[in-house]
Amino acid sequence: MKLALSVFCVVLGVSGGIANAETIVEKFTPATDFVVVQEPNSGSILNYIPTGYVQAVVCRRGEPNSVASFYVPLSQRYFEPNESGVSTVSQFWMGFDFQYLSTTGTPAAANIGIFNSDANNMSEAPHKYNFIGVCPYSYYNVSVRAWQNTTTGALTQTQEDASWQTTLTDTFRFRMRVYRDGNATRADFAMYKFDGSNNPVLMGAPDTGILLSIDPNSFMTGMNALGIRNAAGSYAAKSVKFNIDNMYFSTVSEVADSALGVPAWITPDNPVDLQVPDFSKSQDFDNIPTDWKSIGQINSGTSIGVDAGGYIKGIARRKGLWNSTGAYFTRPEARLFEPCKYIQELYSFDELYMAFDYKYVSGAWQGTHMIGLFNQFGTNNSAAYSAQNTIAILPLASDIYLRKHVNRNWSAVQESDTLVGTVSDPYGSYRYSLRVYKTDLKETNVNVSCFKYDASGNLNPAAEFTATVPIIGAVDPNSFHEGMDAFGVRNASGSTEAGPTTFYVDNMYVGTTAAPVMDKPSWFCGEADFNCDGAVNYADLKVITDSWLSTSVLDADLVENNRIDLADFAKFASYWLGL
């Protein structure tokens, strides 16, 4: 969770840079909106531990598709300085809690601090890999490191070992102040070791004046992410394993110990405190929502987005490859675990509701897509660590399945599909309602109900089918270790490729209370029938007049020029008093 958000005021750097003041304190609760990148050649695993920290196995790599990173975005890019010698800020502070778990040799495999999230691990020039922070060099040593650019854009590195040594399994707090000093960028670095009372104790005098960069070298692409990143380079067989918690970054001041607390591998977060507050998110797609996003990886063969008619249109393929995810989704209130049994038992909620309208249009029947909750960073690859956690509907012709992906441990993801019912018309329009809940016996069940729309878009109140599916038993070793941080539509994984399948989805809902009554799906509505009553009349004309010349209220933007004007009115007139 970002305990302190950006404060929007102006800070002037000594070199003339201008930035918004920013302070982030990241304690890695389920509410953390982090980004994970684990490309197929990275050799790295970056785990979110739901009791409140990150565990990483990181390998250094220098080949295509080999990036591994775990980060929270910064509000802007920081150049310390840029190629013109201009710094974004005159100084900033950052730090984190750290514990070595194991290491092979002296890998210098991980960089922890701020970096450019867009960079690859290749040796191209100009190179985007800019970084300032700490490198765990071996189990007894860490280094202060910066990766920057020469005047040609080539990647160059500065590094200085800390004066004080680390040890395996002990816990440390690292603090760094970065600042401009004439034509140089320097850092002061302090190491603290947690004592038997779980207090951080300064190990010795801080290292001061560490050279990170000197002009004309610069950070050409800047740094926009706070977190963990694998290093670029050879020695691919060597790796380092460690825990991270209580990361912070501030352009305002140092962050006090009282704001950081004790790392969660020492004192795990209380499961009760990690429960999700009541929330609800309801979405039609008459306009493109701003809080939904797409994934369209290179091997997905999938396209999912909002159609001009006001609903999601998907063309999906089932895939079993790396870089083959296609999805369109929003983030629930937090990462959801129902339950997670890693270290301790954690339930995010007592009950959760989902609902959506669905219509199969054409193409393959073979289970190419799913609608519901999933982990946006899960892959379609069949490797043991695919990171998938899922509770979703998987349509397959007339047969409707509930799909789940769960973990037995961090390295084993298991997939199962349960037939929940059969629809009377595979080409019909249906509303699905799901209730996920914890029983008194600490079982996790899902109730599924399906209702059919008639040809005019009227919903039959009698269910086409209902079913109750137990997905996690009270003594079941399986659970949702990864959690589910996305609600929406995703292509399905599978050992054999299938598709494409074209389908529509509308009126999506997720929340801790029952879904509200929603309008009929927009595919029943004509293009100019804004209120979806089956006719283009004065009620629809009022939608145009109420939003005339608007660039923000665009329900009547028939020509899709992001403005309600005469072009929209002319097209509307062609539908007047029609259907």
Question: In a 3-state reduction of DSSP, which class is residue 148?
Answer: strand
Per-residue pLDDT tens digits for 438-476: 998 889 999 999 999 999 899 999 999 999 999 999 888
pLDDT at residue 7, as a whole number: 35
Going by pLDDT thresholds of 50, 70 and 90, the confidence category of residue 313 is: very high
Answer yes or no: are the C-beta atoms of 421 and 450 closer than 8 Å: yes
Using the predicted structure, report yes or no on whether residue 15 has a pLDDT greater than 60: no
pLDDT at residue 80, as a whole number: 95
Per-residue pLDDT tens digits for 210-256: 999 999 999 999 999 999 999 988 776 678 899 999 999 999 999 99
d(CA 510, CA 518): 13
Going by pLDDT thresholds of 50, 70 and 90, the confidence category of residue 143 is: very high
Same domain, 213 and 326: no
d(CA 277, CA 334): 9
Per-residue pLDDT tens digits for 85-103: 999 999 999 999 999 998 8
Per-residue pLDDT tens digits for 346-363: 889 999 999 999 999 999
Answer yes or no: are the C-beta atoms of 87 and 81 closer than 8 Å: yes
d(CA 135, CA 60): 11
Same domain, 502 and 365: yes
In a domain, 274, yes or no: no
Question: How much is the mean pLDDT over the chain?
Answer: 89
Mean pLDDT of 250-269: 94
Same domain, 512 and 537: no
Beta bridge partners of 144: 134, 160
Could you tell me the CATH number of the domain that includes residue 327? Answer: 2.60.120
Same domain, 95 and 176: yes
Residue that finishes a domain, picked among 233, 253, 273: 253
Answer yes or no: are the C-beta atoms of 99 and 117 closer than 8 Å: no
Could you tell me the CATH number of the domain that includes residue 551? Answer: 1.10.1330.10
Same domain, 507 and 540: no
> How wide is the angle at C-alpha 225 spanned by C-alphas 224 and 230, nearest 5°?
125
Answer yes or no: are the C-beta atoms of 507 and 519 closer than 8 Å: yes
Mean pLDDT of 542-558: 82
In a domain, 323, yes or no: yes
List the structure tokens of 549. 């010349």
Q: Which domain holds residue 125?
A: 10-253
Same domain, 40 and 113: yes
Mean pLDDT of 547-565: 81
pLDDT at residue 18, as a whole number: 56
83: number of CA atoms within 13 Å, CB side? 12
pLDDT at residue 400, as a whole number: 98
Pick the most confident of 284-293, 429-438, 474-483, 528-537: 429-438
Q: Concatenated DSSP letters for 396-460?
A: ETTEEEEEEEEEEETTEEEEEEEEEEE-S-TTSEEEEEEEEEE-TTS-EEEEEEEEEB-TTSPBP
Number of compact structural domains in the chain: 3
Same domain, 241 and 145: yes
In a domain, 470, yes or no: yes
pLDDT at residue 472, as a whole number: 93
Same domain, 394 and 535: no
456: number of CA atoms within 13 Å, CB side? 5
Same domain, 304 and 236: no
Using the predicted structure, report yes or no on whether residue 547 has a pLDDT greater than 90: no
Per mean pLDDT, which range of 345-349, 372-376, 407-411 is the poorest? Answer: 407-411
Using the predicted structure, report yes or no on whether residue 273 has a pLDDT greater than 80: no
> How wide is the angle at C-alpha 241 spanned by C-alphas 239 and 246, nearest 5°?
135
pTM: 0.84
Same domain, 304 and 339: yes
Per-residue pLDDT tens digits for 30-39: 888 899 988 8
In a domain, 258, yes or no: no
Same domain, 25 and 42: yes
d(CA 496, CA 503): 20
Using the predicted structure, report yes or no on whether residue 116 has a pLDDT greater than 50: yes
Sign for the pseudo-dihedral over CA of 92, 36, 513, 523: positive
Residue that finishes a domain, picked among 495, 524, 553: 524
pLDDT at residue 260, as a whole number: 96
Same domain, 60 and 194: yes
Nearest to 276 by CA among 29, 481, 73, 25: 29
Residues of the chain above pLDDT 90, percent: 64
Distance of CA 477 to the CA centre of its chain: 26
pLDDT at residue 4, as a whole number: 39
In a domain, 271, yes or no: no
In a domain, 561, yes or no: yes
Going by pLDDT thresholds of 50, 70 and 90, the confidence category of residue 11 is: very low
One-letter amino acid of 526: G
Using the predicted structure, report yes or no on whether residue 12 has a pLDDT greater than 80: no
- Of the two residues 5 and 248, the one the predictor is more confident about is 248
Residue that finishes a domain, picked among 507, 524, 541: 524
pLDDT at residue 572, as a whole number: 78
**DSSP character at residue 40:** T
d(CA 330, CA 434): 17
Mean pLDDT of 309-325: 93
In a domain, 308, yes or no: yes
Q: At what angle do helices 566-573 and 538-546 cross, to 10 degrees?
A: 170
In a domain, 263, yes or no: no
